[in-house]
Amino acid sequence: MANVSDFLSLEKVDAHNHLNLGMRYASYVPWAGFYIPNFPRKMNGLGEMHEVIGQYTRNRSATAKDVQDLVTLSIKDAIADGVTILEGSFDISFVHHCSDSVDKYVELIDGIVKKFADKIDVRPELGMGKLFDKTKIDAWVPPLLESGIFKSIDLYGPEVEDGIDQFKYIYEMAGRLGIKKKAHVGEFSDAASVRSFIEFFELDEVQHGIGAAKDDSVLQFMKDRNIRCNITPASNVMLSAVNSLEEHPIKKIVECGIPVTICTDDLLFFNRSVSEQCADLINANVLTEDQVKAILKESVDSYKK
């Protein structure tokens, strides 16, 4: 049996963490002032998750202080888990919470990064929802990228290719600025979609990407391009993207030689930290202890470069 304590003291990366939902439910409740009924619970896909977000969490964050508080809770829970590098996403919509001021949002993020700099390396990622107001994306994203605060970008929302051409220029701009290019794909979508997203946006890393495991030629393509998958096993089980942890395709992806990280996604909803998931994967006979430790070491070494 692997224990969580075996992994707490090891250096770790969390490269797939939505910082507004990245804290424990136990940390969230006292701050929010309410309980979410029957929660955390296994859900049937992203639709059910978004119902909870719409009914409970979204409305609870209305001000810049709320955003700061939520991100702070997430960072503190990452530190408690021994995460040393946190590449976490700050959603574009929170510019609204900063009086529609890009400068104020950048200032808020900069303050948070500096506040925790002696405890954890927080690398801000700009998170963009595919369904967010395109006029605001066009107005806010270029100055946000040019600010220099963001080390990576991520695109999420429905895993469809409709409308992704509207984001192409943003990925080209990120490329010119030396900002890492990531996108959510292959959580529920198939291997072909993973390949087409990587090619279309010239991605460096994929958030999820587990759909690629269904096609060996796509896995080989990712290995050849050295595309990292930032995988979130507990999230995949809780949202029913995989039937069980025992059947999780991370094993196949790792054994194909594709670099991966083990990440939390939304700790509020899925309640398994990086260290806990390391132990879970071993105890479910998905990966060996040596494989898990090699994943942690490779990801930390690679992110430190």
Catalytic residue positions? 187
Q: Which stretch binds Zn ion (CB under 5 A): 65-73, 134-142, 243-251, 260-268?
A: 260-268
Q: Compute the distance between CA of residue 84 and CA of residue 8 in angstroms, rounded to an integer.
A: 11
Q: Residue 232 CB, nearest distance to Zn ion (Å)?
A: 7
Q: Which stretch binds Zn ion (CB under 5 A): 51-59, 168-176, 238-246, 258-266?
A: 258-266
Based on the shown chain and the rule CB under 5 A, indicate whether residue 125 belongs to the binding site for Zn ion. Answer: no
Strand segments (E) across the chain: 12-18, 83-91, 121-122, 125-129, 152-156, 180-185, 205-208, 228-231, 260-262
The residue sitting closest to Zn ion, measured at its beta carbon, is: 265
Based on the shown chain and the rule CB under 5 A, indicate whether residue 91 belongs to the binding site for Zn ion. Answer: no
- Of the two residues 22 and 259, which places its CB atom closer to Zn ion in the complex? 22
139 — phi, psi (to 5°)? -80, -35
Q: Compute the distance between CA of residue 153 and CA of residue 182 in angstroms, rounded to an integer.
A: 6
Q: Residue 266 CB, nearest distance to Zn ion (Å)?
A: 7
Q: Which residue has the tokens 């304590």?
A: 5
Distance (Å) of CA 195 to CA 60, 206, 220, 254? 37, 10, 11, 17
Q: Which stretch binds Zn ion (CB under 5 A): 30-38, 118-126, 265-273, 295-303?
A: 265-273
For residues 235 and 266, is the Cβ–Cβ distance under 8 A?
Answer: yes
Based on the shown chain and the rule CB under 5 A, indicate whether residue 14 belongs to the binding site for Zn ion. Answer: no
- For every residue of 150-169, DSSP letters joined together read -SEEEEESS---TTGGGGHH
Based on the shown chain and the rule CB under 5 A, indicate whether residue 154 belongs to the binding site for Zn ion. Answer: no
- Of the two residues 210 and 282, which places its CB atom closer to Zn ion in the complex? 210
Q: How many residues bind Zn ion (CB under 5 A)?
A: 1
Q: Residue 103 CB, nearest distance to Zn ion (Å)?
A: 27
Q: Residue 156 CB, nearest distance to Zn ion (Å)?
A: 6
- The DSSP letter of residue 263 is -
For residues 7 and 275, is the Cβ–Cβ distance under 8 A?
Answer: yes
Q: Which stretch binds Zn ion (CB under 5 A): 111-119, 213-221, 250-258, 259-267?
A: 259-267
Based on the shown chain and the rule CB under 5 A, indicate whether residue 159 belongs to the binding site for Zn ion. Answer: no
Q: Residue 263 CB, nearest distance to Zn ion (Å)?
A: 8
Residue 192, CB-side half-sphere exposure with 13 Å CA sphere: 2
- Of the two residues 205 and 265, which places its CB atom closer to Zn ion in the complex? 265
Distance (Å) of CA 6 to CA 79, 173, 213, 273, 287? 16, 41, 29, 13, 15
Q: Residue 230 CB, nearest distance to Zn ion (Å)?
A: 8
Nearest to 205 by CA among 171, 169, 180: 180
- Of the two residues 82 and 129, which places its CB atom closer to Zn ion in the complex? 129
- Of the two residues 81 and 265, which places its CB atom closer to Zn ion in the complex? 265
Residues contacting 43, CB < 8 A, separation 6+? 49, 52, 238, 239, 240, 269
Based on the shown chain and the rule CB under 5 A, indicate whether residue 265 belongs to the binding site for Zn ion. Answer: yes
- Of the two residues 49 and 75, which places its CB atom closer to Zn ion in the complex? 49
Residues that bind Zn ion (CB under 5 A): 265
